[in-house]
Every structure is written in C-alpha cells, then in structure tokens.
Structure 1
Amino acid sequence: MTVTIYDVAREAGVSMATVSRVVNNNPNVKPQTRKKVYEAIERLGYRPNAVARGLASKKTTTVGVVIPDISNSNFAEVARGIEDIANMYHYNIILCNADKRKDKEIRVINTLLEKQVDGLLFMGGAVTEEHVQAFKTANVPVVLCATTDEENKIPSVDINHEEAAYDAVNVLLSQGHKDIAMISGTLQDPSNGYARYYGFKRAMEEAGIPEREEFVRVGNYRYESGVEAMNYFLDQDKHPTAVFAATDEMAIGAIHAIQDKGLRVPEDISVISVDNSRMASMVRPQLSAVAQPMYDIGAVSMRLLTKLMKKEQVEEIKVILPHEVVKRQSVGTIQG
C-alpha cells in the first residue's frame, strides 16, 4: 500500500503539518523533530507525492525541453548544460525528442504544457508562426535555446550565426581561396540555414567574388546530404577549391566524398564548418570549425528560464554568446 504523509506523522508522533514542513525544507522545525521525521520516512519508505505538492503550491518544479534530434551530439551537449543548471536550482526536466518535424514539435509543446510544467525550453529548430501561437497559449515562461524567432520577441540564447559563417568563410579567403562552395542548411531555418548562408554570401561579396549558383547546395544537416552536395560540386566542369558546410556532419560527409574520388583534404580541397562537435576532432584530417559554446547555451538558457519563472529582474532577454574559430588540418593554402 502507498505510504501517506499521515502514516509518517503517526510513526514519528508529530502532526502532518510538521511532516510537510520537514519535506519542504522549512527551517522552522527543531533539529530533534526533523531527525524523528526523517527516520520515520526512511523506515516506511515514504516518497512525497509530486502531483499533490504541485496542486497545493501551483508549481511542479518541472521544466519541459523540446530537442530536435536527441542523437545529435551538439543538442546532447546543450541538454547537459540545461540539466546541470536545472539540478542546481532544484528543477526536474522532461526531455522530448521532436525529430526536427514541425507537427511533432507542436504536439510535444502542447503535451508538456498539459503536464503543467513551470517553464519551457525550445531547442534548436526553426520557429514558425505555428510555434509562436503555441507559445502564446502557454501561461508559463518560454526560452528559445540555440535558435531565435524572426521578430526577436521571445527570450532566447544563441550565437550570431551570420557572423560565425562570415568568420569561417574569411578563413578560407585568407588562405587564397576564391572558388568557395557552400553546403547550406534549409533556408527556411533562420539560424542554421538562412543566417549562415547570408554570412557566406556577405563574406564573398566583400571579397569581390561573384556568387555562383552551382556552388551552393541546400542540405538537411545530415552526413548523407554532405556527401550528395560534395559529389554535385565535384561533377562540375571546375570544382571548388574550398567548401564551407553549415554543420560538422555535412562537412564530414563532404570530406569523405572528396576522399572517395581520390582527392585529398586540404591539398586539393579545403573544408570548414560551424559547430565544432566532438566529430570535428575525430575525422581525419581533423576538421576546422567555428565553435559554438553548446554547453553554455544550455546552461545560460536554463538560468534565464529560472529567473523568468521566479519573476526575477532580467536585464536582457536576447542573449548572444561568443563563438571562436578552431583551426585544424582541413584548411590549406591555395596552390598556384
């Protein structure tokens, strides 16, 4: 049978109110009484009913997290940052994988809100009008994590994706490359997709290099689309001397496609990306990449959410964290 707070009170010889104060860490309990209650809890195996406590306090101390792809190491790192800060502030998290599908994201958001979470973190996907409408129905704070909304009205934590791409392409330009191709994410995605494409475009325009339509391919962030896009570039009459990929996974696909054709990286074609996941240092040659502080994005997002949930003063609801270029072996100087 389920052990109740009444059973603990009877076992310890105290009132139910005293047991409640002990369970909720109220300081107004004598040490000797607190010890008696804890001993009774241990003997009986009592576990406080979180649902009942939530109904009483109107708080569940639970945060819902929507993750686009749980198998992606970048998002796993963000989730780790979220969980560490959540634990620090005594919040539990419910992590839901949405498979980068808008219909599933909307369904998961509504399900988490039905679970009466105290706050919601939406991670790393494109924020559409449907998402915004779902967030508006929430009566709890929402923070976007590793993404932003187009109107910049929803609190968020991210990097400047346009500047990250701009810096990556300038690394290639500084090594003498002019025939630079890009493997982009979907242009409907304002951060990983369009913003990174625009950063590429701006860097090329400032260098006085005209855009070549055949040197831009849209991928889906996955390894296979990197392979496919690189094979397309290699089939051109004149292939690029360097490739900028919007994600590490697509960049690694490009490296393997280059090697499968008997060409070398970086001697024949240089490759650089944005993300700097663990895979970047595992591939050979090691991948040069613009590093996103994924753990920090998760940690800062959760801290911002705790402030909003506790109605603390927040100076800035749009937080942009710094990125940095990590140079490895996949970029070389153009020959000739």
Structure 2
Amino acid sequence: MRKLPTSKATQAASLIEQAISMREWNGMLPSERFLAEELVISRTCLRQALAILTSKGVISAPERSKRRRILITSKTKKRLNQVVLLTPKPELGSNKNLLEQAAHLRGFLSKSQYQVHILSPSLTNKDSATEKTIKSLTENFPLALWVLYQCPETIQHWFSKNQLPSIILGSRFPEVSLPSLDIDYRAACRHATGLLLAKGHRKIGFIRFRSKLAGDSLAYAGMLEALNNSGHADIEAPCVFRHNFSAENLVHKLNASYTSANPPTAIICINTHHFITTMTYLVGAGIRVPQDVSLICLNSHEVFSSFWPEPTHYTTGNRLMKELTQMILNVKASGSETHILMPDLVTGKTISHCP
C-alpha cells in the first residue's frame, strides 16, 4: 500500500509535483500567493513544500522577485483540464445565482474531469485593464479554457487577440473573434416591451449598468424597436436608469424619478438584483406592484419562487449551462460561432394594465 505523506508541507509538495506532471503549468510555477490560496496553506508551509521540490530537482532555487522555474518535463499529453469563469461579480458576494450556475456547470463537466474555478479580480471591473495585468492573471492557468462572463470590451479583445481558448458567456463586442453563448436579450426585451404596450403603458423605465456591457445595449435596442414599431403616437421616451454596482445608487435614482411629477408606469430590469432592489424600493415607498407600477425581469433567480406577487420574468432553466458544457467539450469546433438561446416567459403577477 502506498504510504501517505505525513506533514502538510510534504502533502503540498506531492500535490504540486502531481500538477507539474500533468502539465498544469508551463515553464514556471504560479506565484506563491496563488499556490498558497489554492492549497489553503500558509506561505511558510508553502515555502517548506517548495524547498522539498527544490531538493528533488523538480523546480529551481528561489530568486529574488522571480517565479520558480520548472526543471522537469512530463511525457503526459497536454490537455485542457480547467475551466475558469472570469467575472466582475464576486464569488462570495450577492450574486448567488452565479454560484448556482457554476455548480450546475461543475456537475455537467464532472465526468470529463474538468475543474471549474471562479475568478473575480479587480481588473474585470475596469475598462482600463492592461495587457500586463491580464497576461499575469492567465499565466496561473496555462491549461484552462476561459469563460468570460460580463467582462468589459478590453478583456474580450485581449483574449481574442491572444487566441487563448475562451468562450464568451453573454454578448460579444464588435471585432471580437471568439465563440459566444448568449441569451437573446434583444428579442426578450422587445417581447417584454410589447407586453407592456399592450397593457396601455406609454412611459417605460429600463435599468442597466453604467459600464458598457454588450447585452445591456442589445436589450435596449430591442426595447426601442418595439416602441418605434408599435404605431402608438402617445409613447414617451424611455426612462433609462444607469447606475454602478451599488443598490444604494440605484435606489437614489429610482427615488428621484418616483418623487417627480411623471415617473414611468412600468420598468424592465435586465438583471435579477436590479429587479429585487427595485421591487423592495417600491414596496418601501408605498408604491404597489403591479397596481401602480409593473415590473418585468429578463433573467431568473430561484428566490423568485418565494416572492409575492411572483415576478414576471424570463428563464432558460438549465439549458444555458447544458449548452455551455457542449461548447466547452467541443471548443475547437466552435470557431467564432454565436449560440443564441431564446428564454421562456414566466407570466408571474407583476405586470398589470396601466393605472
């Protein structure tokens, strides 16, 4: 029977050596900080593990401000074995829905022996991410396929330019040559706007992020198409709420509108957290949903089943993660194709005739 390592440092050294043999890293080890976080050990314990590998000739001796070189080569065939979900949304934050989707993805990929990671570095929240910062991030995962979720245009262009195995989960910016999987927000928002127009609403609000996200722009384009093609002469210009990632900021903008003389009688929200913030604000302000204001969300969340009235929203169920799994397993054949899913309407009870 194989003898198990006894100390944490010996166990860590064994895990790192195994990863090297599987060619998870190319030429250089990741940074000490990254390795310590991945192995859930202290820097002191990690350095003891690295000293063991140095004495065995697996990696180079430490050099000031430089990463350790890998000194052995493996005959193991190099293959993608990791999926990194890159997103500006924090893994341990308010977006529980993202974690649920990642859990589904892990389940679908488990038989193919893929590891699924979620990364939310600060550079994904900035349009000014540099080539150096993105390259430094990707070097820690040389055998990864990257799933870019709600990433800014600069990051999509960088992955496209450097031809790293990647899939955009969401809408693709112009001149980006990467496969993408998207929900048809344009068609969904056009349909949602049509529902509201049919119920007599003529001033409709639209909530989107202040930052430039391709999906937000497509949804808004669908809304404008429905308004412009409706044939109604009394339609007012849509009231667009642009905000950052703060609920407080969105509430401030909503309050300014709903204390004015002519607020919108209906609102379309792209994201579920927009919907939840908006609905709770309206209830707190004594504004009834849907009697006074109608609400529609273009996405779904499991918490919606606990809401009353039940939100009117759109959903793809498990179809999104199932389709993404197939694209990951066949990434070489995907080219720069765009796969579009049309969500289903859940009628709910948050839309009504214009008061």
TM category, shorter: 0.7 to 0.9
* Aligned residue among 62, 73, 78 for 2:96: 73
Matches within 5 A, 1:138-153: 138=163, 140-151=164-175, 153=177
Equivalent positions of 1:139-288 (< 5 A) are 140-151=164-175, 153-186=177-210, 188-191=212-215, 193-207=216-230, 208=232, 209-212=234-237, 215-220=239-244, 223-288=247-312
State yes or no: 1:51 paired with 2:74: no
Question: Does the Cα contact within 8 Å between 2:202 and 2:235 map onto a contact in 1?
Answer: no
CA contact (8 A) 1:146 1:297 kept: no
**Aligned match for 1:136, one of 161, 176, 192:** 161
Distance 1:194 1:211, change over 3 A: farther
- Over the matched positions of the two proteins, sequence identity in percent amounts to 18
Offset of residue 182 of structure 1: 1.8
For the aligned residue pairs, the C-alpha RMSD in angstroms reads 2.8
1:177 is paired with a residue whose SS is coil
Secondary structure at the aligned position of 2:241 is classed as strand
Partner of 1:32: none
SS at match of 2:223: helix
1:326 corresponding residue in structure 2: 346
Q: Residue 111 of structure 1 corresponds to which residue in structure 2?
A: 137
TM-score after normalising by structure 2: 0.71
> Quick one: distance in 2 between partners of 1:275 and 1:199?
15
After TM superposition, give the deviation of residue 162 of structure 1 in Å: 1.0
Cα distance, 1:226 vs structure 2: 3.7
**Structure 1: which 5+ residue stretches go unaligned?**
1-39
CA deviations over 1:21-79 (Å, ceiling 9, x no partner): xxxxxxxxxxxxxxxxxxx34x5578781211324323362232213212313322331
Which one has a larger percent helix, Structure 1 or Structure 2?
1
1:123 aligns with 2:149: yes
User: Quick one: which amino acid aligns to residue 248 of structure 2?
Assistant: E
**Contact 2:203–2:237 at 8 Å: present in 1 too?**
no
- Which amino acid letter does the alignment assign opposite residue 136 of structure 1? K
Report the 3-state secondary structure (helix = DSSP H, G, I; strand = E; otherwise coil) of the residue aligned with 1:328: coil
Give distance in 1, aligned partners of 2:279 and 2:80.
47
* Counterpart in the other structure of 1:26: none
1:333–1:275 distance in 2 versus 1, CA, 3 Å: same
Distance in 2 (alpha carbons) for counterparts of 1:137 and 1:73: 31
Q: Shift of residue 240 of structure 1?
A: 2.1
- Give the structure 2 partner of residue 91 of structure 1: 114
Task: Tell me, yes or no, if the aligned pair for 2:157 and 2:176 is still in contact at 8 Å.
Answer: no
Check the 8 A contact 1:67/1:75 in 2, yes or no.
no
Q: Which has the higher contact order (CA 8 A, sep 6+)?
A: 1
CA distance in 2, matches of 1:247, 1:93: 24
Tell me, yes or no, if the aligned pair for 1:64 and 1:120 is still in contact at 8 Å.
yes
Deviation digits for residues 184-228 of structure 1 (CA, Å, limit 9, x no counterpart): 23362111x211221222222222354436x22212355334422
Q: Supply the distance in 1 between the matched residues of 2:106 and 2:202 (Cα, whole angstroms).
A: 43
Q: Distance in 2 between matches of 1:105 and 1:246?
A: 29
Q: Any idea what SS the aligned residue of 2:345 has?
A: strand
Distance 1:314 1:251, change over 3 A: closer
Q: Deviations over 1:283-316 (max 9, x none)?
A: 33222112244x43233223212212xx4x4488
* Alignment correspondent of 2:84: 64
